[in-house]
Amino acid sequence: MMDILQYSFMRYALISGIFVGILCPIIGVFLVLKNLSLIADGMAHFSFGGIALGIVLGISPTYMILLFSILGGLLINYVIRRTKLYGDTVIAILLSTGLAIGITIISLARGTNFNINAYLFGSLLAIDEKELMSIILLGIPAIILVIIFYRPLLYITFDEDSAKASGLPVESINILLVILSAVTIAITIKVAGILLTSALIVIPVATGIQISNSFKKTLLSSVVTGIISVILGLIISYYLNIAPGGAIVLVSVLIFLLSISGLFDQKGYYSKT
């Protein structure tokens, strides 16, 4: 492990990866328990249009990812509430729309030098000090907001109707969750890419649900799973010379498979506290 840390790019990758490993499950636990696991995938794919537009206009793709992720999430939330369509149908429409926008822009800007692979598959080892600071500056406020609005977020996650009846601004809290998800996606795409971002948000939470019997324990075990996945994935990718994003997700999947094998079973009920 120590020989890995002698390289600055590995140190940046490890720090940013661990940060993502913490943030993704924190946001993901609310999305998964609200049956919105696919919304992260839809928002990530919708942001592809923003990436292409940002490259063409010379704007930082990170900001365009954030903008398009927020826009995609708000559109999904709006269409679900204003139509008779199920969430997965709406997400599929927005997902396809984002990809179509990106592909169209790329085809129109043939003379532009695109490095799409870095955004499709991630480029964790290419993260420099400036990008690391951007990840931290975007991620820390997101975590603070989750702490501040923990109770309202928990309430709307388990019983939105009762939350609305009690006077909570449910729509505003849902919009906050969409924005927090967009920030998480904008950070994670650099690490795992568009194709694997939702995996880092969903799989650790699925593991946490499997091995825990309360919300707080699920949250904690999900974060621990995310951190372990990042550390082991980076070590494996370094020694086997494979893509770190893929290695991290595969480790996360392996931990999930171990969790459903009964190795970590806890007896008891699932509590909301």
pLDDT tens for the chain, residues 1 to 273: 566 777 787 888 889 889 999 999 999 999 999 888 888 888 888 888 888 888 888 887 778 888 998 898 888 888 888 888 887 888 888 888 988 988 888 888 765 566 677 777 777 777 888 888 888 888 899 999 999 999 999 999 988 888 888 888 988 998 999 899 989 998 888 778 888 888 999 999 999 999 988 899 999 999 999 999 999 999 998 889 888 888 999 999 999 999 988 766 654 445 555
pLDDT of residue 26: 95
Residue 25 near residue 208, CB atoms below 8 Å: yes
28, 56, 54, 29: which is closest to 43 by C-alpha?
Answer: 28
What is the pTM for the complete model shown? 0.87
CATH 1.10.3470.10 correct for 7-191: yes
- Give me the residue spans of the domains in the chain: 7-191
Distance CA 143, CA 20 (A): 11
Residue 45 near residue 255, CB atoms below 8 Å: no
User: Which position has the token pair 């598959």?
Assistant: 121
Distance CA 223, CA 203 (A): 11
pLDDT of residue 135: 86
AA identity, residue 138: L
Residue 186 near residue 192, CB atoms below 8 Å: no
pLDDT of residue 269: 43
